Amino acid sequence: MSLPDKAFPVSWDQFHRDARALAWRIAGLDREWRAIVAITRGGLVPAAIICRELGIRLIETVCIASYHDYTSQGEMQVLKGIGASLLENQGEGVIVVDDLTDTGKTAAIVREMMPRAHFATVYAKPKGRPLIDTLRHGGLTGYLDLFPMGYGLHLSGADCWRKTRLNETK
């Protein structure tokens, strides 16, 4: 798939800057954090950047598959849950990180597991925004038609852009 005129490609440099800015927003909350949970796969890179910025050493993942064909969101599948110690106190003191909240479905599943955790994303679309506590860029309406899977980079050389419609109400 070639990029349309309204594509919003995110370079690795820009993504790194945005993830660091997100970390600084979280640091400004002046709270004690005991761990970070990265929602895989998109949350791995921003979680690593945030951990470095905030000095957090305990990192966990929750693996949820929703984009099975890189083009449309399908049935949600929890492939790996969160360790029991982080589920204590309903996730209090834990930051849950993802790169983007689109519809909010993934965040909702993790929020059920950890209702007192702090949810942070680098980018948020309007439908997923209510589930996020801290974000770098929100309300991506009107100029983001595509969001990069792997930020436009793929070993196969294939175009890796996931088509997303902003004004969908489903």
Residue ranges at the known binding site: 41-42, 98-106
The total of other beta-carbon atoms located within 10 Å of residue 68's CB is 11
- Active-site residue flag, 13: no
- Known binding-site residues for 5-phospho-alpha-D-ribose 1-diphosphate equal 41-42, 98-106
Please pick, among 13, 98, 145, 159, the residue that the annotation labels catalytic.
98
Is 18 assigned a catalytic role?
no
Active-site residue (options: 18, 30, 99, 159): 99
Establish whether 145 is a catalytic residue: no
Residue list for the binding site for guanine:
102
List binding-site positions for xanthine.
102
- Binding-site annotation, residues for Mg(2+): 99
Give me the catalytic one of 102, 133, 145, 159.
102
Instruction: Write the DSSP assignment of the chain as a string of letters.
Output: ----TT-----HHHHHHHHHHHHHHHHTT-----EEEEEETTTHHHHHHHHHHHT---EEEEEEE--SSSSS----EEEE---HHHHGGGGTTEEEEEEEESSSHHHHHHHHH-TTSEEEEEEE-TTTGGG-SEEEE----SS-SEEESGGG--TT----EEE--TT---
List active site positions.
98-99, 102
